[in-house]
Structure 1
Amino acid sequence: MALPLNLTLKIGTYLVKQKLRRREKFPLIVEIEPLFACNLACNGCGKIQHPASVLKQRMPVEQVIAAVEECGAPMVSLAGGEPLMHPKIDVMTQELLKRGKFVVLCTNAVLLPKHLHKFKPHRNFAWMVHIDGLRERHDESVSKEGVFDQAIEAIRQAKAAGFAVYTNSTFFNNDSPQDVIDVLDYLNDDLKVDMLQISPGYAYEKAPDQDRFLGVEQTRQLFQKAFSEGRRKKWRFNHSELYLDFLEGRADFECTPWGIPSYSLKGWQRPCYLMADGYASSYQELLDTTEWDNYGRGKDPRCDNCMAHCGYEPTAVLATIGSLKESLRAVTGR
């Protein structure tokens, strides 16, 4: 499935500019974490394990804007923690939209109905709701009953109000191909969300449950079976075709960790969202002082089973623009 035309054009124009400037390293998306606090305690995360003094902190809007403008990425993912717990998240979103950014606000959606009136539909804005399976599986993942139903109702309210709604689903080693099929069919066909994003579970170092993450071969087998019988083509994925090929094992890439940098209350995280090997005070410092060649499969054992989109989607996108065939495939979704 092709990306929305306005987003495809925005990214395409940006990439052409980077090529003309002969920049070797540049961000496609910047992930901003304006807080670590959350109203849930998910098994595959660990943000709320920060000290109470850190969990109380909220990043000023001006600091967010400065970080986004410094790195220059055309897309911004507002994450956390739970962004809707930030008292200025609506102002933050508005300021980024004014600057021509495509903004995705990631949320577990529990607080969405309460805050929906603060936002207005915009062609460059989408909600990204985390749905990690159908009711039983999702509620187990977030360690709280009833959250799935709350999230689904919030999605319906947001769509009825005219917003674009994406979903993000993470799959673990206790998920079967049928689990993947069932939730994606429900989100795509029944709930009719605008875009689906998926990710194989990776061992985020602060996650309380470290025994549920997928290895490379497990990931390939899972998505090969889930994508079979034409299902991949019908699902409205928020991914490049080459990244989906990568998940199936039909293509292989090296990681591009600088492609989706993460900025939080601690600074620019080295080398990526999933690994915290220190922090840089500026994006340029992150680029200049991180030993990028030390990361990736065969270089750092922590990277050996990672197939997460934060590292490999940028590689797939860059490979797409380097091929006329793949560029046409990106536009048509075929």
Structure 2
Amino acid sequence: MRLVSHPVLCNYYVTYRCNATCSFCDIWERPSPYVTVENVRDNLRDLKRLGVKVIDFTGGEPLLHRQLDVLLKEAKQAGLITTITTNGLLYPKYAERLRGLVDMLHFSLDSPIAEEHDRSRGVKCFDKVMESIALARQLGERPDILFTVFEHNVHQIKQLHEEICLPNGLVLILNPVFEYNTVDTGERFSENALQEMTWWGRQKNVYLNDAFISLRRDGGNHIDKPVCKAGSTTLVISPENKLVLPCYHLGLKEFAIDGQLYDLYRSAEVQQLVALEGRLPACEGCAINCYMQPSFAVELNKYWWKALPSTLKYNRIKGTWKQLL
């Protein structure tokens, strides 16, 4: 049973450029412009009309956009919940300008061991994450640690939780790595790794959407009975100011927005693509977290029930639950 029929999330790519070269990501390989404030302002107006609640200014590395604080101010004024995920390299430079503008501020950290984290990111950034944590707390911010979990680092959750998260009062977000295109994400999760993530997800100040684990046990999305609702829950906007469908990672078609996002999304051509969400051949086996998270929230099924406890837990900790009502 469908509970919410309108989009709830916008993944707004402010640029595809990045100052890191993560081995499990290929976005940084793409040439890219930067979004303009004028286009963002127009699109925010229509995002609100369409019912969107949360906007994720993403990339690439979003802090490469020198007017990111302006974009965040516009989003906050529109009443949207804002979220940013950064590798921390530029956060100390812009922290003061971003203060109070990010509801969900995530610092990426893939290992409690500096050399291992830096190797996975292709650049030395561990020390910058540590500096960013200290600075954010000094400014009264409440950042989270986003830990991309692989089969090879699942055993490091304990050390990262105890040595970095607990002493700094941070929420640890467990983000199981997902496969897409030809990106090498290593070996698939063993049952032991899935069980360990689930156990940690129940611990204090640790967030894991357990529906992610359930979906992986089920072999991901299946096109004959799709759980993915990417097209109808998530609007993807590119740095070129285009609407990307059915999602960024599949990206079958892009539509120029030209200040008409509301009408464009509701057009027959776009809605025909939306209707194919989770049903295209490339959708078979998909388990991409950034589309499954909102998909689990809009339809009453076993994944909705699996996702509910962690969703309530995180939004209670962060105080964002009131904005979602």
What letter corresponds to residue 201 of structure 1 in structure 2? F
User: Per the alignment, in what secondary structure is the counterpart of residue 202 of structure 1?
Assistant: coil
| Cα distance in 1 for residues equivalent to 2:165 and 2:308 | 24
The residue aligned with 1:101 is: 80
| Cα distance in 1 for residues equivalent to 2:301 and 2:70 | 34
| Count of paired positions | 295
Determine whether 1:121 maps to 2:100: yes
Query: Residues 144-223 of structure 1: matches in 2 within 5 Å?
Result: 144=123, 146-173=124-151, 175-194=152-171, 196-204=173-181, 210-213=183-186, 215=188, 218=189, 221-223=192-194
The residue aligned with 1:257 is: 230
| Cα distance in 2 for residues equivalent to 1:186 and 1:260 | 35
1:186 Cα offset (Å): 4.3
TM-score (norm 2): 0.76
The residue aligned with 1:31 is: 11
TM-score (norm 1): 0.75
1:154 Cα offset (Å): 0.7
1:242 Cα offset (Å): 4.0
Query: Residues 1-334 of structure 1: matches in 2 within 5 Å?
Result: 24=5, 26-51=6-31, 54=32, 57-72=33-48, 73-121=52-100, 125-134=103-112, 135-144=114-123, 146-173=124-151, 175-194=152-171, 196-204=173-181, 210-213=183-186, 215=188, 218=189, 221-228=192-199, 231-238=200-207, 240=209, 242-243=211-212, 245-246=214-215, 254-258=227-231, 259-266=233-240, 267-281=242-256, 282-285=264-267, 287-290=270-273, 292-293=275-276, 295-296=278-279, 299-300=280-281, 302-319=282-299, 331=312
Q: Percent identity?
A: 17
- Checking the alignment, whether the CA contact within 8 Å between 2:220 and 2:287 is kept in structure 1 is no
Question: Structure 1 pair 149/65, CA: closer, same or farther in 2 (3 Å)?
Answer: same
Over the residues paired in the alignment, what is the CA RMSD in angstroms? 3.4
- Checking the alignment, whether the CA contact within 8 Å between 2:244 and 2:254 is kept in structure 1 is yes
1:184 Cα offset (Å): 4.4
- Checking the alignment, whether the CA contact within 8 Å between 1:271 and 1:277 is kept in structure 2 is yes
1:221 Cα offset (Å): 4.6
Question: Structure 1 pair 239/224, CA: closer, same or farther in 2 (3 Å)?
Answer: closer
User: Per the alignment, in what secondary structure is the counterpart of residue 89 of structure 2?
Assistant: coil
Q: C-alpha deviations, 1:295-324, integer Å up to 9, x for none?
A: 35xx52x43443222222123222469989
The gaps in structure 2 that reach 5 residues or longer are 257-263, 315-325
- Checking the alignment, whether the CA contact within 8 Å between 2:228 and 2:277 is kept in structure 1 is no
The gaps in structure 1 that reach 5 residues or longer are 1-17
The residue aligned with 2:317 is: none
- Checking the alignment, whether the CA contact within 8 Å between 1:131 and 1:168 is kept in structure 2 is yes
- Checking the alignment, whether the CA contact within 8 Å between 1:40 and 1:143 is kept in structure 2 is yes
More moved, 244-253 vs 105-114: 244-253
More moved, 253-262 vs 102-111: 253-262
1:37 Cα offset (Å): 1.7
| Cα distance in 2 for residues equivalent to 1:176 and 1:86 | 31
| Cα distance in 2 for residues equivalent to 1:254 and 1:220 | 22
What letter corresponds to residue 128 of structure 1 in structure 2? H
- Checking the alignment, whether the CA contact within 8 Å between 2:23 and 2:122 is kept in structure 1 is yes
1:246 Cα offset (Å): 4.0
User: Per the alignment, in what secondary structure is the counterpart of residue 84 of structure 1?
Assistant: helix
Question: Structure 1 pair 332/270, CA: closer, same or farther in 2 (3 Å)?
Answer: closer
- Checking the alignment, whether the CA contact within 8 Å between 1:133 and 1:183 is kept in structure 2 is yes
1:254 Cα offset (Å): 1.3
- Checking the alignment, whether the CA contact within 8 Å between 2:174 and 2:201 is kept in structure 1 is no
1:111 Cα offset (Å): 0.6
- Checking the alignment, whether the CA contact within 8 Å between 1:196 and 1:235 is kept in structure 2 is no
1:104 Cα offset (Å): 0.8
- Checking the alignment, whether the CA contact within 8 Å between 1:185 and 1:235 is kept in structure 2 is no
The residue aligned with 2:261 is: none
